[in-house]
Amino acid sequence: MKNLLLLAVLLGFFACRNQEPSIPMCHDPNAAFAAFASDKDFQNAHPTPQPAVLTHGGKNIEFPVEGGENGRGFLITAHGQTNKYLLLFHEWWGLNDNIRNEASYWVHSLGINVLAVDLYDGKLATEAADAGKLMQACDAARAKAIIQGAAKFVGEKADFRTMGWCFGGGWSLQAALLLGDRAKACVMYYGMPEKDVETLKTLQTDVLMIHAKQDKWINDTVVGEFEEHMKQAEKSLTVKEYDANHAFANPSNPSYNEQAAKDARAAVMAYLKGK
């Protein structure tokens, strides 16, 4: 009998240990999304971006991050005094001038402060293979610490809206989860959703998701599962669908879909106004 009990314990131990590698895939959007990085079709969907010309001022900043080196970002403040912030999360290329131009657009359009958060610690890519390596190397714990450091840097009175594209789309949702009741809005452009319903139950804001119907990766199945999980969590999700491909909203992308991008931007603007 003792031998049978010992055998059961050992089998249970090894079964649990063998399951551990799959756990981060459920709770780390980067891990799930990074699996696409070596997919040649995914790489081809991200051709080398065209150079962007920086359209407005702003400043590169650094801020303390618990447990590591300083975090980085690009900050543009509104002309009037406000404690409202929009946090932007870059695509797999890194915090480049295209994202800085997005910061410029939104600070003028919304009249609030905009901080583009650098989850790559200053690294950039211009080729898909390099971007994939950066995305795969992004450590979830470090990324979350950077987001928390950014929130602490702008002050306790600040509240937040989050927005990101592709890789950054998933991190937009994760940031909203991290920020708790300080999160007032969340926009995800074709990003990997959180899959854990119990985690989604802690979300304190509604979500707008921009979905590209031709996307082979953040596809109808992924979005449908997200809708079901948000329903189970009793959270509000609006999905805006466009007959376009992944990364359609990036004007530096040679595959940029101008009409879909404009329509999506209008939907985002209507959602963020007054938040």
Q: How many domains does the chain have?
A: 1
One DSSP character per residue, 124-192 reads --SSHHHHHHHHHH--HHHHHHHHHHHHHHH-TT-EEEEEEETHHHHHHHHHHHHHGGGEEEEEEES-P
With beta carbons less than 8 A apart as the criterion, state whether 181 and 204 touch.
yes
Residue 20 lies in a domain: no
Predicted confidence at residue 30, as pLDDT, reads 65
Residue 63 belongs to what domain range? 25-272
What is the amino acid identity at position 220?
D
pLDDT at 37 over 90: no
Q: Does 178 fall in a domain?
A: yes
Q: Is residue 44 part of a domain?
A: yes
User: Is residue 155 situated within a structural domain?
Assistant: yes
The percent of residues above 90 in pLDDT, for the chain, comes to: 77
pTM: 0.88
- How far is C-alpha 190 from the geometric centre of its chain's CA atoms? 9
Helical (H) or strand (E) element with 29: helix 29-34
Asked whether residue 9 is assigned to any structural domain, the reply reads: no
Buried b (16+ CB within 10 A) or exposed e, 193-210: bbbeeebbeebebbbbbb
> What is the rounded distance in angstroms from the CA atom of residue 207 to the CA atom of residue 86?
14
Q: Is residue 57 part of a domain?
A: yes
Residue 54 domain flag: yes
pLDDT of residue 4: 39
Cβ count within 10 A of residue 240: 17
Is residue 18 in a domain? no
Mean of the pLDDT values across residues 187-205?
97
The CATH number covering residue 120 comes to: 3.40.50.1820
Report DSSP letters for 227-247, one per residue.
HHHHHHTT--EEEEEES--TT
Q: Considering only 29-33, 128-132, 215-219, which range has the smallest mean pLDDT?
A: 29-33
The structure tokens 């969907």 sit at 45
